Amino acid sequence: MLNSGAVESRGRLVVCFDFEGAYGMPYDLVYDLTRNTSLILSELAQCDARAVFFMVGRMVEDHPDVVQAIAAGGHEIGLHGYEHDDLSRYDTGALALFDKNLARVGSLVEDITGSRPLGFRAPYLLSPYFYRAEVYALLKAQGYRWVSNRQVRYPVELLRPGLFPIRSAWRGPDGAARLMENRLLLPPLNTRLLIQESFGGSVLGRLRWLLGKRPPFIRDGLVEVPAYAPLDCDLLGLPTPQSDTPDDVLAFSRAVLQAAARRQGGLSMVTFHDWIVSGGNRLVLLRDTLAAARENSMSISTIADNLDWLSAGV
């Protein structure tokens, strides 16, 4: 795990996109991938921020121009499966085909950008266990160096508008965001992580990890970078690209993501889905998250930029 002495006082923010488009959204809708990619890249460029784009393999094959545009902005390209489906359910034959497809797409990314992908995030994060040994072995054999599948449930998610009859329960008496950070709620929200996981050496070791800064760790020879904030879909639900998000839900999500972008001392991460954040009225979430990071002197960079730093500390 990360040596505390290696962590800088200034935080490092990694902005991730599960870049799925029509391949991953749960709707059969027309989706303008080129336009929405341009919107996202423009926001990143205005803040001089580089991000990680986990791209579905079929998207890479079908839209090499999008891959090129992302790489030209200095962003890191990882992969997000080949088809956007559940790798935790793959049998031996399906895994063998996935191995071939992933190798082919990795070579294609290298042809387009000059660099082979080093990072991988599984569709659905390999839920419910957020890990599968056969998948990790396959990734290691193909030269991947890091993954990001370990989800953590955070107390702040309990305040999501719509979960309780009072929709503004997340606001304090002064109207400002009341973001629930009670560490005592972390264990009951993450019981499966504590009991069924294997990293950390023991349940007690994982409890210390959960209640601490939750540093990256080595799993099967790969650096596992956990999610340091709820994903956008955990905050916003699954809106269609054409629909707007209610103001209270948008304000709540903005407060949560901005708090993650201000996390000082070590690593933080926020995750967006391209078809969620670029649709409706939600692009402001990306804009405001980047602004919060810059206002707090956070370094906004990719995992590739930080990989030596991470690997030295785990």
- What's the rounded mean pLDDT across residues 128-151? 97
Residue 6 clears pLDDT 50, i.e. is over it: no
- pLDDT level of residue 7 (50, 70, 90 thresholds): very low
- What's the rounded mean pLDDT across residues 47-64? 97
Query: What are the pLDDT digits (tens) for 211-249?
Result: 998 999 999 999 999 999 999 999 999 999 999 999 999
pLDDT at 314: 64
Nearest to 248 by CA among 163, 167, 159: 167
Greater confidence, 139 or 314?
Answer: 139
Largest Cα–Cα separation, the chain: 58
Residue 47 clears pLDDT 80, i.e. is over it: yes
Q: What is the full DSSP assignment across 219-276? A: ETTEEE----S--HHHHH----TTSPPPHHHHHHHHHHHHHHHT--SSEEEEEEEHHH
- What's the rounded mean pLDDT across residues 267-296? 96
User: Are 304 and 76 in contact, with CB atoms under 8 Å apart?
Assistant: yes
- What's the rounded mean pLDDT across residues 104-122? 97
User: Are 19 and 79 in contact, with CB atoms under 8 Å apart?
Assistant: no
Greater confidence, 306 or 192?
Answer: 192
- pLDDT level of residue 3 (50, 70, 90 thresholds): very low
Greater confidence, 283 or 263?
Answer: 283
Residue 178 clears pLDDT 80, i.e. is over it: no
Using CB atoms within 10 A of its CB, is residue 180 exposed (0-12), middle (13-18) or buried (19+)?
A: middle
**Ordered domains of the chain (ranges, CATH):** 4-313 (3.20.20.370)
Greater confidence, 297 or 107?
Answer: 107
Check residue 200 and give left, alpha or beta (phi > 0: left; psi -120 to 50: alpha).
Answer: left
Query: What are the pLDDT digits (tens) for 241-255?
Result: 999 999 999 999 999
CB within 8 A of 154, min separation 6: which ones? 186, 189, 229, 230
**CB-side neighbour CA atoms (13 Å) of 223:** 20
pLDDT at 167: 64
